[in-house]
Structure 1
Amino acid sequence: MSVVSIEELEKARAYGRPLAGLDLGTKTIGVAISDLGLSFATPRAYLPRKKFQEDAKALLHLLSRENAGGVIVGLPINMDGSEGPRAQSTRAFVRNLQPLTKLPFAFWDERLSTVAAERALIEMDVSRAKRAQRIDSAAAAFILQGALDRLQALRADPGG
């Protein structure tokens, strides 16, 4: 399918299925999955990055296994609102993944998601070694939760 806005995702997604959230890092892909009610995001195991074809195969397998109805992808926008090389790389990854699936994709501003995820893990007293393993999926959960909150707000006030 195509990339849609967060506002269009509600109609484009497969109804009754959870949404997936992705944090595309250079070494790993953090993954989170929502509940069926689209209220809560839960981190899943990360996927180690390899070559695109391997990444795509592993990711599509995971999305199928989780029965995802759409995908929220964290877009690494600079603090000044501009898009740098990481944002371009993220857009290219999604552009290359689109022909391989019918799932709709929506981008979500991921500024400070990793910082927030790390703070949450520190507050939970997760060791530094385990934080390194969990940070990308925790960031994916923050990204997905932000999008879920926006979808909830849109349902509550369709005009806003």
Structure 2
Amino acid sequence: MGRVLGLDVGDIRIGVALSDLLMITAQGIETYTRRDEQSDIQYFCELMNQQDVETLVVGLPKNMNGTIGEQAEKVQDFAEKLKTACGRKLVYWDERLTTKSAHRTLLEADMSRRKRKAVVDKIAAVYILQGYMDSL
């Protein structure tokens, strides 16, 4: 069974998390800074090949009332292009509270604002992926 890659997709950065081989824990591996769509897609296809990724879990930023807004549409557009280009199973995960949880975790760790900004997307990706894996 292949690994699972979790993404917290933003306009500027993408938080990246990867499952362990036993599918028990999600590890944050990086915060990727976006370049252009083609470069981004190529980067993630290569990463998925290197890490033997079978499934892609993408956080879907729904509105609090459950509707899909403009940001969620952008995320879906990018995720569908990734799915097509990289040939992986795609799962959307409701991420409404993940970024807020990630910020809270980092605040509790007494991390400076600048450092928080650098890792919050990666931590959010961990929450997305861990939530998905816990649901299996």
Same fold flag (TM > 0.5): yes
Q: In structure 2, what is the equivalent of residue 10 of structure 1?
A: none
**Would you say the 8 A contact 1:47–1:58 is kept in 2?**
no
| Amino acid aligned to 1:112 | L
More strand by share: 2
Task: Confirm or deny that 1:25 pairs with 2:10.
Answer: yes
Per-residue deviation, residues 80-135 of structure 1 (Å, max 9, x unmatched): 01000011111111222222112111000000100101111122222211110001
Query: Secondary structure of 1:111's partner?
Result: coil
Task: Confirm or deny that 1:105 pairs with 2:105.
Answer: no
1:121 is aligned, of 106, 114, 126, to 106
**Would you say the 8 A contact 1:20–1:32 is kept in 2?**
yes
Q: Percent identity?
A: 38
Query: Which protein has the larger Cα radius of gyration, Structure 1 or Structure 2?
Result: 1
Counterparts in 2 of 1:137-148, with a 5 A limit?
Answer: 137-148=122-133
Q: In structure 2, what is the equivalent of residue 4 of structure 1?
A: none
Query: Secondary structure of 1:69's partner?
Result: strand
- Counterparts of 1:83 and 1:29, CA distance in 2: 19
2:68 is aligned, of 80, 83, 89, to 83
CA drift of 1:64 comes to 2.1
